[in-house]
Amino acid sequence: MFNSRITSIIRKEFVQIFRDPRTLAMIIIIPIMELFLLGYAATTDVRNISMAVWDQSKTTQSRALLDAFRAADYFVLDYSVSSSDEYQALIESGDTRVALVIPPDYDRRLLDGNAQVLMILDGSDASVGSTALSTARLVGQAYSTKIVGEQALLSGRVAASAPVEVRTQVWYNPDLDSAYFNIPGVIGMILSFITSILTATTIVRERERGTIEQLIVTPIRSWELIVGKLLPYVILGFIETAEILLIGHWWFGVPIRGSGVLIIITAGLFLMSSLGIGLFASTMSNTQQEAMMSVMMFNLPMIFLSGFFFPIAAMPKFLQFVSLAIPLRYYLIIIRALLIKGVGIAAIQNEVIALVIFGVVIMGAASLRFRKRLD
Partner 1 sequence: MTEPVISVQNLTRRFGDFVAVDHINFEVGRGEIVGYLGPNGSGKTTTIRMLLGLLRPSDGHATVLGFDVARQSEEVRLRVGYMSQKFAIYDDLTTLENLTFYGGVYGVTDKARIQHTLELVGLKGHENTLTGDMSTGWRQRLSLGIALVHEPKLLFLDEPTSGVDPTARRAFWDLIYELAEGGVTILVTTHYMDEAEYCERVGVMRDGKLLAMDTPTNLKKTIITGNVWEVFALPLERGVEILSALSGVERVGLAGDHLRVISQRVEKETLENALRVENITVEKIERGEPTLEDVFLALAR
Residues contributing to the site for partner 1 (CB under 8 A): 3-5, 7-9, 11-12, 15-16, 19-20, 209-211, 213-220, 375
| Residue nearer to partner 1 on the CB measure, 14 or 36 | 14
**Cross-strand bridge partners of residue 119:** 100
Instruction: Assess contact for 102 and 110: CB atoms under 8 A.
Output: no
Closest distance to partner 1 from the beta carbon of 215 (Å): 7
Check residue 338 and report its DSSP letter: I
| Residue nearer to partner 1 on the CB measure, 3 or 56 | 3
Quickly list H helices, 175-221: 178-209, 211-216
Question: What DSSP string runs through 87-147?
Answer: HHHHHHHTS-SEEEEE-TTHHHHHHHT----EEEE-TTSHHHHHHHHHHHHHHHHHHHHHH
| Residue nearer to partner 1 on the CB measure, 85 or 375 | 375
Q: How far apart are CA 115 and CA 338, in angstroms?
A: 49
Closest distance to partner 1 from the beta carbon of 8 (Å): 3
| Residue nearer to partner 1 on the CB measure, 2 or 321 | 2
| Residue nearer to partner 1 on the CB measure, 16 or 289 | 16
Closest distance to partner 1 from the beta carbon of 3 (Å): 8
Query: What Cα–Cα distance (Å) separates residue 237 from each residue in 193, 337, 367?
Result: 10, 20, 20
Closest distance to partner 1 from the beta carbon of 9 (Å): 7
| Residue nearer to partner 1 on the CB measure, 214 or 349 | 214
Instruction: Assess contact for 75 and 69: CB atoms under 8 A.
Output: yes
Query: Which helix H or strand E contains 38, and what residues bound it?
Result: none
Closest distance to partner 1 from the beta carbon of 176 (Å): 48
Q: Which amino acid is at 212?
A: I
Closest distance to partner 1 from the beta carbon of 206 (Å): 9
